[in-house]
Amino acid sequence: MGGGNQPARVSLVQIPGKEELRQKNLFSVSDCKMYWQNSGEYLAVQVDRYTKTKKSTYTGFELFRIKERDIPIEVLELENKNDKIIAFAWEPKGHRFAIIHGDGPKPDVSFYTMRTSNNTSRVSKLTTLKAKQANTLYWSPAGRFIVLAGLKGFNGQLEFYNVDELETMATGEHFMATDIMWDPTGRYLATAVTSVHEMENGFQIWSFSGKHLYKVSKDHFYQFIWRPRPPSLLTAEKEEEISRNLKKYSKKYEQEDQDAFNQLSEQDRKRRTQLQEEWDSWVAKWKQMHEEERAYRRELRDGEASDDEEEYEAKEVEVEEVVDVRQEVLAFDLDQE
């Protein structure tokens, strides 16, 4: 309020008791936006502040660690504080977030983590991707993968990015795309052009890694929605335990898969052996029959052996054939002198 002259206040309040758990005063504030991580572990407050001259603004972030003691707050500022923030998105059930920022026609995309390599609670930057045709961010519901999408002015540019490996898996385009939806498993992505455009209506399906799988064109297409996935029967603690011991479980199931594969391989080997034996038996049968008829073939060819197909003599013979005969009849008028 008051053009930034009055301090702003961000408060974290527990409901329904209305107990204030954490608060922070912010100065020279023009605007605030808040982004919750879907598990409630983190809160990011995007703060637009006035410069000293009050002629422009710059942006920073206040990052709340909700699950930690006393709810510590970290301040994050971009390397270029004057960059415009175009999009912000938390990784679902994770500790990373992505920001699209910049003033040019192709902004940058930066990735940050709330944990360092030794698992200490400190925000740090993972990487910055320069000059991307993107203005929206779409994390997979399972985390790890993200789609950098360029909608509206970018005409449906798509980049499928692996944040674990910090590498681009694939790029694609759905011209004039208006909507992007991950399926609940995080295995597939749908892009759609709805009836806000008169042309190109329909949807396309992609794999999580950016492989184009399916396309449907449909006039007057209004909405695409995935079938909801039923909630897990496991508790959050059990899911975390499975995740921690995944390698141990993987060895068990990999051995079971290998045993099943070996069994199938043995069955396949026996089948191939049987087919080979049947083929060899068939060939031997006809070779025997061919040998038994050798004398008969010689007799049919006036004593000439013709089994060796390479022993032959080529002769060129010209044959004339009458294909048509025409007759002309002359008629005379006997009454004329």
Q: Which two tokens stand for residue 305?
A: 């052996």
- 72 cis-preceded (ω within 30 degrees of 0): no
pLDDT value of residue 329: 62
What is the pLDDT tens value at each position of the chain, 337 positions in all? 766 678 889 999 999 999 999 999 999 899 999 999 999 999 999 999 998 888 888 999 999 999 999 999 999 999 898 899 999 999 998 999 999 999 888 999 999 999 877 767 789 999 999 999 999 999 999 999 999 999 988 889 999 999 999 999 999 999 999 999 999 999 999 999 998 888 889 999 999 999 999 999 999 999 999 999 888 898 888 988 888 888 888 888 888 888 888 888 888 888 999 999 999 999 999 999 988 888 888 888 777 776 666 666 778 888 888 877 776 666 555 554 4
Q: Are 77 and 149 in contact (CB under 8 A)?
A: no
pLDDT value of residue 93: 87
The DSSP call for residue 210 is: S
If DSSP codes are grouped into helix, strand and coil, which group holds residue 168? strand
The DSSP call for residue 327 is: -
pLDDT value of residue 217: 94
pLDDT value of residue 224: 96
Q: Are 109 and 129 in contact (CB under 8 A)?
A: yes
How far, rounded to the nearest angstrom, does the alpha carbon of residue 285 sit from its chain's CA centroid?
A: 55
Topology, domain 133-256: Thrombin, subunit H (2.40.10)
Distance CA 254, CA 252 (A): 6
Q: How many CA atoms lie less than 13 Å away from 270 in the CB half-sphere?
A: 5
pLDDT value of residue 105: 86
pLDDT value of residue 328: 66
pLDDT value of residue 46: 96
pLDDT value of residue 301: 79
Nearest to 177 by CA among 148, 199, 155: 155
Overall pTM surpassing 0.75 (yes/no): no
How many other CB atoms sit within 10 Å of the CB of residue 311? 9
Distance CA 159, CA 170 (A): 6
Distance CA 39, CA 193 (A): 31
Distance CA 199, CA 256 (A): 51
Kindly tell me the burial class for residue 284, based on how many C-beta atoms sit within 10 Å of its own C-beta (0-12, 13-18, 19 or more): exposed
pLDDT value of residue 5: 73
Domain boundaries, the chain: 133-256
Q: Which two tokens stand for residue 275?
A: 């087919």
